[in-house]
Structure 1
Amino acid sequence: SRSEERPGGAANVARNVAALGAQATLISVIGDDEPGRSLERLLGEEHVRTSFHRDSRLPTTVKLRVIGRQQQLLRIDFETLPSHEILASKLADYERALPEFEVIVLSDYGKGGLAHIARMIEQARGRGTPVLVDPKGEDWLRYRGATVLTPNRAEFRQVAGDWSSEAELATKAQTLRAELGLEALLITRAEEGMSLYTDAGAQHIPALTREVYDVSGAGDTVIATLATLIGARADISSAVRIANRAAGIVVGKLGTAVVHPDELA
């Protein structure tokens, strides 16, 4: 047997952005521990800038995945919520850094690091900077005013309820998009592809089927690809098509992985 460390969560989004050739800076909270130092080192090797706030009272979030015969057998999470003081200093860091960036990605994994997300969205949008959010949980009002929200099928169902037809799904999606003041809502639907909802209506992009080894981190690749392209001034419709291709590639790799530009060519 062997063990391997890979960046996950928002760190996986950042390394996907860097793999596509863009400059990524990750603002986050880690513990003053070995996993935190490993994360910093691994991201440095992948050309991601880090602005980490160390909280000595919490362990760096670790997800231990046990894999056998290329299948995940077990996952154990080690995590603790960060302190208010650390979160306040992280917010101040974000506010100072905001003018440097073309696009902001807020990856919510429900770990407490985005306690100030409503304010973060408001500040970025006030500058005209696009904000992409990968949501978590049932309280989506905190994401109001974001540019794009990228829930997966299960996350959307949890908030909007079930649907029995594409028309009903579109109605639910557009209603929610209007309520939250989003420019676009992108629902990733695994083997059913992706559905994009904007003022122009609904656009469905079929999945690019290939052998699926591991879906972990596919949503990270989608939002990273979208953000990179939107930062480069691509229109949302074209960006979603390329993000769909990237997702089709990354699920063919084991563990949290990245996609490089030559794979999308």
Structure 2
Amino acid sequence: MVDLLQHLPNFNDQNILVIGDMIADEFITGQPERISREAPVLILEQDEEEILPGGGCNAANNVASLAGNVYLAGVIGDDMVGQKLNTKLNNLGLKTEGLIVDESRPTSVKTRILAGGDQMVKQQVVRVDKLETHAIDKEIEERLIDYVEEIIDQLDAILLSDYGNGVFTTNLKKRVIALANKYNKIITVDSRYNLLTFKGITIATPNKEEAEKAVGFQLDTPDKIEKAGWKLKEKLEADAILITLGGEGMQLFTKEEMIHISASNYTEVFDVTGAGDTVIATLVLSLASGASLEEAMKLANHAAGIVVRKLGVATVTKEELSTVIQGEDNDE
């Protein structure tokens, strides 16, 4: 596994643009006080409130956590949640000049209410989503494209994080991918709902469910997974496709071959929230750092094996990744 370790020092030198749907993950925690007399529900006394990066912000935060240099582009609202999210992202060291404030739409936010006593792990009681899904207007779209054109020379790779919240208009996708190809930049895609609309890319990382939706059939046998991988690669005109299969590992489709690897440390899964963001963040940094497609997949697999052991939306550090790789090397 020493060949994987050689790429980690290069993570620091990579400039990655993350374009995506910016979502604020809001966590409100409280202690149960009593049952309400108005309805059979808990009354919580609020302890904490925190805004964390979600959606495309979480993918960007994963790149930053692995020591990559992150340029962020997307849309937030002119509201308190957007301000708090912007402050959080700046404090994490992300370059937020490409975050555009759109007064016509609120910041997308997912609010999770958690309850538990002082000596207990807080449990999620309910989640409330306030998401804007209509397409951004032409002016905002042009400002985002202008930003990409302005910084393209400084970039090593581009990550497109599509959560279906309206940033990825047909025109924006087409022009950003064309710019990436014109300047010979790596371009990676994680799209929850519209994978087939991203054509001419380096690699996409659909999970099993996303791949099934894109190809129109279930991936319930090895043969069907293989068929889906090659079909996606052809339709997306991509250099490669990486299908993540949860506990069944990952399957990579390149120009020359198909490669399958088992899931890293899947016996200790606590929470798979945000694992896809960790996979694509590690993948794009690895490719930008000179790793082969197979090496990048293995690094992303190790990173996913770390993040699923953490509760909530979490990230992985380069030091954690190095420790896991060296530990596996010693086990062999």
TM range (shorter): over 0.9
Q: Percent identity?
A: 37
Which position in structure 1 is the counterpart of 2:131?
79
Which position in structure 2 is the counterpart of 1:246?
303
Structure 2 CA distance for aligned equivalents of residues 142 and 92 of structure 1: 21
Structure 1 CA distance for aligned equivalents of residues 78 and 52 of structure 2: 18
- Shift of residue 74, structure 1, vs aligned partner: 2.8
Which position in structure 2 is the counterpart of 1:191?
247
* 1:79-158 aligned within 5 A: 79-80=131-132, 81=134, 82-115=136-169, 116-137=172-193, 139-158=194-213
Partner AA of 2:282 in structure 1: T
Deviation per residue, 1:96-150 (Å, 9 max, x gap) = 221110000000110011111122111101111010000122x434211010011
Partner AA of 2:165 in structure 1: K
Structure 2 CA distance for aligned equivalents of residues 71 and 247 of structure 1: 23
Whether 2:326 is the aligned partner of 1:258: answer: no
Whether 2:84 is the aligned partner of 1:35: answer: no
Whether 2:279 is the aligned partner of 1:225: answer: no
Whether 2:62 is the aligned partner of 1:16: answer: yes
* 1:167-206 aligned within 5 A: 167-206=223-262
Whether 2:253 is the aligned partner of 1:207: answer: no
* 1:154-165 aligned within 5 A: 154-160=209-215, 161-165=217-221
TM-score norm. by structure 2 comes to 0.76
Gaps of 5+ in 2: 1-29, 31-47, 116-120, 323-332
Gaps of 5+ in 1: none
| Runs of at least 4 residues off by over 3 Å | 67-73
Structure 2 CA distance for aligned equivalents of residues 126 and 229 of structure 1: 21
Q: Based on CA coordinates, which of the two structures has the bigger radius of gyration?
A: 2
Deviation per residue, 1:44-87 (Å, 9 max, x gap) = 11111112111111111111123355554432211223333212
- Shift of residue 212, structure 1, vs aligned partner: 2.2
Query: Do 2:211 and 2:228's aligned partners in 1 also have CA atoms closer than 8 Å?
Result: no
